[in-house]
Structures are given as structure tokens and as C-alpha cells.
Structure 1
Amino acid sequence: MSELWARTALQTYRWLGAALYPLMGTYVAVRITRGKEERGRRRERYGRSTIDRPDGPLIWIHAASVGETGAVSALIQRIRDLDIRVILTTGTVTSANFARERLGEDLLHQYVPLDIKPAVSRFLNHWKPDLAIFAESEIWPMTILELGARRIPQILINGRMSDRSFKRWSHRLALAESLFENLSHVAAQSEVDGERFRALGARPVTVTGNLKADVAIPPVDQAELRRLSAAIGERSRWAAISTHDGEELVAARVHKALKKYRPGLLTIVVPRHPDRAGALRKMFEERGLSVASRSNGEAPTPQTDIFLGDTIGEMGLYLRLTDIAFVGKSLVGHGGQNPLEPAMLGTAILSGPNVSAFVEAYDRLTEARAARMVEDEATLAKTVHHLMSQPKVCDAMARAGMRVVTDMGGALERTWSALDPYIHPLRVQAALHGNGPEAHPASGGRGAGHAGRRALGWK
């Protein structure tokens, strides 16, 4: 692909976006009916905001979903501790709720604008960020070009490039180079990711490690943990977490197969998207399985087959209730999900073979014998049964996983060092400007009261 072809392709993308902009209302409306958008905040997807931009320097941080939001939470708090404002954008309702719970209702939050010029321009005209930071694999052409045109530094942190994405970009090398040359810095998760970003034209690229290995151990309500642990008692149990459509059915069939050998078996299912809980409960019950839903406050009874973890921000609870965790989007779907949270909480980890988004983490875990890969439903059932029958093996896997997470630490400090040349001038500017959490309570300072919180867009 020639450079001229790449410029033509990007210009076509710009024009196509402008042409489709009037039709985006239908797209957003459909997402609202599916629970993927908040009706009262849909205008944010067009770049509109009801929140005033606070005075002083401002950093825009974008994290697409819950995993990315958790990964950048410590970084956001460190920036806020310097009295530099942060506007966080996310792309899902669950990640917005998670951000509120993890970072507080005084955090400035918006839904990310559609990658169409009118929406992106309106967002940038309002917020006027001094620096833009994107997490993991968020490559939006129009957003990158608009930031580049305004000479706003943009940095990709915790950057990863899956096999499929790298292959796709490699076939469009000139297009990739015309986009990635706008990035001021890429902080990649691994050497493989770093080499791929360099091959696609990004400069400079440093390898900082995976921020997800540096997140705090997922919290838990100790009273609820005691209540549910007492309800479950000594029953055999395993969990299928971060599951995607089709994997819950696999979990149901595995449960029925194993229950023949373990009559008191409890299976904990934590879907990646809790909004599917109603349909999942119906599916389980149609197969003769008794279900208790966490969102309804139901605790498992001795007759319960499936404990449905359909809440946000409680992974720490679900993982503390089990010694064995299958991590989803790996048997059905591609890319896998983050295995580091179950590792740090001491569970034996199982996964399907499709983990291209977390290759380094799984390589380390399998090498340390902390994780096992299963090819299909039958292998999953056999492996769960084996680990239940061999508690010493299960315990050894759990301890190995915790060691792997410890060894992978340090990504936050390395990422902070990569960001320092861009953040330090803003720190000086904030000090000169007199920013402080008490200075602008209605604009998102950490001292914001109830009225200020309502102004921030949270419900």
C-alpha cells in the first residue's frame, strides 16, 4: 500500500464518517435498547458534555472496558495526587460503573465520543486536553488524526498488539505508519508487542510490562464473603469467569457431567457482560439447573447448581469462593481474558487455547505450571475433576500463580518513567496555576460534594 493510497484511505474514512454521522442516532438507540448505553448520557457519544472543563492542565485518559480501567486506576490516582485534572473516557456501561466504584464519584468521566470528526472535534474543543493517554489497543483513526492536527501529545500505554491485529495492520503498512507516527510514545506490554509496534512505524517504543500485574488485589466485602462461604460450606466448587456467549453453556454441561461424581457440586459463573444474566438464568433453568443470582441477593442453598455472579466489581468475591477458575473468551471467541486476577488471588487457572491478547501472561503461567490449557469441553471437565481430586496439585498451581504475578510487577513505575517527560511540565503548570482538590469542588476535585457529583455525569 503506497503512501498516497494510505492518505486516500484515511480521507475516505473521514468523509464516510461525516456522511454516516446523521445516522448514528439509530446506532446509539439500538445500543440503548440492549443496555449498552445510558439513555441519559447518550449525547456524550457525540462529544457533547454537561460538565464544565476545570481550569488548569488536563489529561485525557481512555480505557475501553473494565479490564483496561482497572489497569490504569493506579496511574490515574497518581496523576490526580499531583493536582492535575483527569478526564476519563470509557466505552461501556460496566466500565463506567466500575470507574465510579474504584475511583470515586468525583472523577471526571465521559463516554468516549464516536470516532467521527464532528464528535471528536466537539469533544476536543470542549475539553482541550494537554495530553492524551490511551490504554492497550485503542487505535481510532479519526481521534488520532484530530489529536495530531492539534499537536496534542498522545501516548499508548500498556500497549498490546494481537496476532490477528498485527497481521491485519501488516497488510496495510503505509496506513499503519501514517497513524502510528502521530503517537508520541508507545509503552508496550512485552518485547513481542514492542517489536510489532516498531514494525508498524511507532517511535519511540519502550517495553514497560503489563499494568494488570501491578493492580491492587481485588477488594472484597468480608461480611459477604463470610456469609456466602458459610452458605456453600464444604461443597466442591469451581468457577467459570469472564465468560462469553457460548461458554456459559459449556459450564452448564461440565457441571452436569461432574455432578454424577460430585453430587454437591456448585459451579460459579461470572459472565463478562452481566446484562446477559436474565437470558443466562433462563438457559440454565431450561436445562434443569437450580440458579442463585448474586444481583438478587440470593445465596446458594444445598440445592443450588449455579451461582450466577451477575454484578460488577465483585470479582474479588467470586475468586475467593473457589480454588479453580476457568478464564473465558478462550474456548468460544478469541483473545482470552486477563488471568492475572485469579493468579494473584490464589486459584488454579484453566483456559481455552484462544489467548492471543494475553500471550505473555499465559506463557509465564503455563511455564510455571500455574495454568493449564484445555482444548475443549471434555478436556475442561476432566481437568476440573482431576484438580478437585488432587488438592495438592491445585494448591501448587495457586502458589505458582502468585509467584508469577509478583515477578511480573513493576510495570506501573516503568510506565510512569515513560510518561514523566510529558507529565512533568503539567505538574509545574498545575503548581503555578494553584490547582487543588478544594479549589474547584464542582469541577471534579476530590472534595466535591453531592451537588458536584451530580454535575459530573454519574447517576
Structure 2
Amino acid sequence: MAMSDGLASLIIASYGWAGIAAYPLTGPLLALRAAKGKEDRTRRLERFGYPAIDRPAGPLVWMHAASVGETLAIVPLMRELRRRDINVLLTTGTVTSAELARFRLDGEIMHQYVPLDVRPAVRRFLDYWRPDVAISVESEIWPTTLMELSKRHIPQILVNARISDRSFSRWQRHLSVAEALFSRLALVIAQSDLDAERFRDLGAWPVNVSGNIKVDGDAPPCDEAVLERYRQQIGDRKTWAAISTFDGEEKIAGMVHRALKAHIGLLSIVVPRHPERADEIEAMLIEKGLKVARRTRDDVVTPDVDVFLGDTIGEMGLYLRLTEVAFVGRSLTGEGGQNPLEPAMLGCAVLAGPKVGNFRESYQRLVRNGSARIVRDAEMLAKAVHFLLSNDLARHKMIDAGMESMQEMRGALAATVKGLEPYINPLTVQARLEPRSAGRA
């Protein structure tokens, strides 16, 4: 049953006061996370809203992407804003996404870690950066930040928006709170009709549909010299990749390798979603009797290497170009799945487990078009990998279908930019009329 508007306001206010009460404890918490490699200890002050770089003069759009996948999704959009001479500040919440921003966008945009969703940090951040528009990606809703933006009449927009089954159910149980928050969004641009319907049900308006802007991005780049070196080391061995893997899926990849090794000359490429887990993954694979070469050590992939461990950030383009069969993780032992579009874009037959709810529409389309297959467990994955590596016709048929699917799905970036025009066109005019300077306005 929906609660009253008054109670919803009280809950949101209580969240804000709870954040203030807990604020003194955030320093030790961040220090602990830094010790575990989950925070950049040299940039912890950014999490409290303190700037590390100067704000340039002129209009500025604040874009927030929680992690790696969301950051990759909005690279083309950020470049479109820069083409219009609008300053772009990107905030992210993870060390890996910050590294990716540096790798892919250094010199193009500014990067800071996102401030904690507590009033002192958010106010300090907004006082300094004074964004003209705030754009978040996919499903990022932070109550304190949303309320502070609303008070300052700064439009907050959600692009490439999606909402999982679990999140939607949770928000529905607190519908008045959802409506009090979602109604403050100036615009939602959703990935699918289903996502759009859910956002409207939760109080967002207006809501447009664009499709998934990840399809419109460039294929992940790679160093051609490095790619050629690894291709020579691998030679004529068959390869498959398990990418964006979560805890437990690396063990499954090792099981698949051991099951197939006797039948075909095989190299397995394992790319964990969180590279900081590489030491424990390597130890587990060695315990299983497998020889591991690691990218961070620049190990040579000799003929007796079983697993090439891709423990770097920003090199997915390299790993996917070394194979034509890719299992996409967080779908067997994890929950929600990971983006299947990059492997399809780079000419891979796509395999995934059944837990792909966060990318349901993408997988449905790829499966329907014959470019992806869903596997139930490790045994079914091993059989699918063996079949595809042994059957050139079937593998290439899936690859061609994936390429065709990518072409059909394009257009989301143009639809997103069109939806944003009422907000960014005035900033484009302002940016091109004002004299440019590097100092703070």
C-alpha cells in the first residue's frame, strides 16, 4: 500500500539527516576501502566534495557513471558535448572506472570521484562546480544529490535509463518515496519501452525511449602491435574468452578448459570484471593444475599456457580480438548479466548464463537473431564452446548475425542527443559566444 506524501517526505528527510549523522564515520570507512584497493587513497578528498582540479569558465555538464559499463556507454555522448564546446565533468564511483576514464578520455573531459551522498559533500561539490545540467547514466538515483540539485533548479536527467526487476519491485513497495524522487527528474531517456513504462509508473515525466547508446559507441580500441604480438604467440591454437566474470565464473572457465583441453589445442582467456581479484584467481587456477600467463606481467603466452588472465583495465578490445567465442559473465554465478554488445560488435559468437535481467532486451534480440546462446551451467557452456570452436560454419553464422544485429540497433545516440537538445542547445550557444579561458569562472 502506498504511503502518504507527508510520510514519504519525512523518510527522504530522515535519509538526509542520517547521512549527516554518519558523516564523521565516512573517513575511516573510506580509509578501510582504500586499504582494500576499492578507493584511491590519493584522491579520497574528492569523495567529500573537495575539488582536485580547476573549474573552467563557461557552461558545464556534470555526467555521472557509476562504473565501467556506464562510463563506456556515455563516451560518445561526452564527445558530442565537447564537440559543442561544452565543458564535461565526469564523476565515477570505482577505481576501475576512473582508470578507464583516464585511458579513454584523458585530455577530453575532466574527471573526479563522485561525492558521497551526504549533504556536506554534495553541497561542497555543487558550490564549486556549479553545473548547468546533471546527467546520470542507467539507474543512478541518489536522494540527497537529487534533492540538492532540485533546490538549485539544476535539471537532472537520466540517460540510457534502465531499471531491473528487483529495483522496480523495491521501488513499488515504497511508491510515494519513489514518486517524490523520480518526479524531480527533468527528463528520463530509457533504453526500452518496458523501462520507460516502469519509470513512468514510479513518477518520472517526461520519459522518452532511445534504445541502448552502447551500440552507437566505437568498438573498444587496442594497440595493434600488442595484438599482433599475442596473435603470434598463440599461433593456430583455438581460443575462447570468459569476460566480465564474477566470483565463481573463473572456476567454471577453468573447468571448461580442463574438459576441452584433451580434445582441442586450447587457450582460455579470462577477463575478470574486477582486476584486483587477479591474484586469487591465478592461485585458484594454478591449484587446478593450469598454467597462467598474466597481462599485467607481460607474460609470454607459450604453448603450454592454459589461461591468459586479462587483469588490466581498458583492454577489452585486445582480449576480444584474440577470439571469436565469448562467454559474458555475471550470468551464471552472478546476477543481472553484463553487456553483450561489445563482443558482438567485435565479431564474437556470444554465450551467457540465464541471469541476464539487466540486459534482457539486448540478449533477447541477439538470441532471436541467432547471434547469442544461453547456457544453463558449466557443462552446457563447455559443450557450446566445443561446438563453436569445432564448427566454423556455425560460429561464423553467429558472428555475422551479431554484426547485423548491431547495425539494426544503432540510432540511440542520435535519439538521446535529440531528447537533450532543449537543455544543451542553450549551453552550446553560450559556450560559443563567451570567450574561452582556462581559469575558474
- Is TM (by shorter chain) over 0.5? yes
* 1:291 equivalent in structure 2: 292
Q: Could you tell me how far apart the structure 2 residues matched to 1:176 and 1:317 are?
A: 42
* More divergent stretch after superposition (98-107 vs 146-155): 98-107
- In 2, Cα distance between the equivalents of 1:140 and 1:379? 40
1:65: which partner in 2? 67
Q: Distance in 1 between matches of 2:88 and 2:321?
A: 33
Provide the C-alpha distance between the structure 2 equivalents of 1:265 and 1:423, rounded to a whole number of angstroms. Answer: 51
Supply the distance in 2 between the matched residues of 1:410 and 1:434 (Cα, whole angstroms): 34
Segments of 4+ moved more than 3 angstroms: none
Check conservation: 2:189, 2:416, Cα contact below 8 A: yes
How far residue 106 of structure 1 moved from its aligned partner, in angstroms, is: 5.2
Structure 1 counterpart of 2:109: 107
Partner of 2:132: 130
2:371 touches 2:401 (CA, 8 Å); kept in 1? yes
1:33 to 35, 41, 51: 35
1:385 — aligned with what? 386
User: Per-residue displacement from partner, 1:365-396 (whole Å, max 9, x unpaired)?
Assistant: 00001000011111111111111221110110
Give distance in 1, aligned partners of 2:300 and 2:169. 46
- Please name the residue that 1:228 is paired with: 230
Superposition pairs of residues 353-364 of structure 1, within 5 angstroms:
353-364=354-365
**Alignment-mate amino acid for residue 350 of structure 1:** L
Match of 1:171 among 159, 173, 182: 173
How many angstroms apart in 2 are the aligned matches of 1:35 and 1:133? 28
Q: CA deviation at 1:3?
A: 1.3
CA offset at residue 299 of structure 1?
2.5
Deviation at 1:443, TM superposition (A): 6.8
Code of the aligned partner of 2:72: G
Please report the TM-score for the alignment, with normalisation by the length of structure 1. Answer: 0.94
Quote the offset at 1:30 in angstroms: 1.4
Contact 1:65 1:91 (C-alpha < 8 Å) held by counterparts: yes
- Alpha-carbon shift at residue 298 of structure 1 (Å): 1.2
* Cα separation, 1, equivalents of 2:63 and 2:69: 14
**Which position in structure 2 is the counterpart of 1:455?**
none
Residue of structure 2 in register with 1:301 after alignment: 302
Deviations 1:243-275 (A, max 9, x none): 01111011111111111322x211000001111
Q: CA–CA distance in 2 between the matches of 1:169 and 1:57?
A: 34
Does the CA contact (< 8 Å) of 2:211 and 2:411 recur in 1?
yes
How many residues align structurally? Answer: 439
Q: 1:8 aligns with which of 7, 10, 13?
A: 10
2:82 and 2:108 in contact (8 A); partners too:
no
Alignment pair present for 1:418 and 2:419: yes
Q: Does 1:434 align with 2:435?
A: yes
Q: More displaced, 423-432 or 362-371?
A: 423-432
Q: State the partner residue of 2:342.
A: 341
Aligned residue number for residue 211 of structure 2: 209
Q: Which runs of structure 2 are paired with 1:36-115 in the superposition (5 Å)?
A: 36-105=38-107, 107-115=109-117
Residue 282, structure 1, aligned to residue 283, structure 2: yes
Residues 313-362 of structure 1: per-residue CA shift (max 9 Å, x gap): 11111111111100000001111000000001111100000111101100
Q: Quick check: 100-109 or 328-337, which moved more?
A: 100-109
Aligned 8 A contact 2:66 2:92 in 1: yes
Partner of 1:456: none
Larger CA deviation: 5-14 vs 322-331: 5-14
Question: Could you tell me which residue of structure 2 aligns to residue 241 of structure 1?
Answer: 243
Amino acid paired to 1:155: I
**TM-align CA RMSD:** 1.2
Q: Is the 8 A contact 2:196 2:208 kept in 1?
A: yes
Q: Which amino acid aligns with 1:208?
A: S
Amino acid aligned to 1:345: L
Identity %: 56
User: Once the two structures are superposed, what CA deviation does each residue of 1:57-111 show, in whole Å capped at 9, x if it has no partner?
Assistant: 1110001111111111111111112221111101111111111121123521100
Q: Is the 8 A contact 2:344 2:350 kept in 1?
A: yes
- In the alignment, which residue of structure 2 is the partner of 1:140? 142
- For 1:443 and 1:151, the matched residues in 2 are separated by 21
Deviation at 1:141, TM superposition (A): 0.9
| 2-structure distance, mates of 1:182, 1:294 | 45
Q: Distance in 2 between matches of 1:432 and 1:388?
A: 58
Partner of residue 375, structure 1 = 376
Letter in 2 for 1:86: V
The secondary structure found in structure 2 opposite 1:78 is helix
Matched letter for residue 42 of structure 1: R
In the alignment, residue 255 of structure 2 is paired with which amino acid? R
Match of 1:450 in 2: none
**CA–CA distance in 1 between the matches of 2:45 and 2:56?**
20
Q: 1:351 matched to which residue of 2? A: 352
- The separation in 1 between residues aligned to 2:383 and 2:427, in whole angstroms, is 55
Measure the CA separation in 1 of the matches of 2:426 and 2:160.
22
Counterpart Cα distance in 2 of 1:418 and 1:398: 33
Take 1:402 and 1:164, find their aligned partners in 2: how far apart are those partners? Answer: 31
User: Aligned partners of 1:384, 1:377: CA distance in 2, in Å?
Assistant: 10
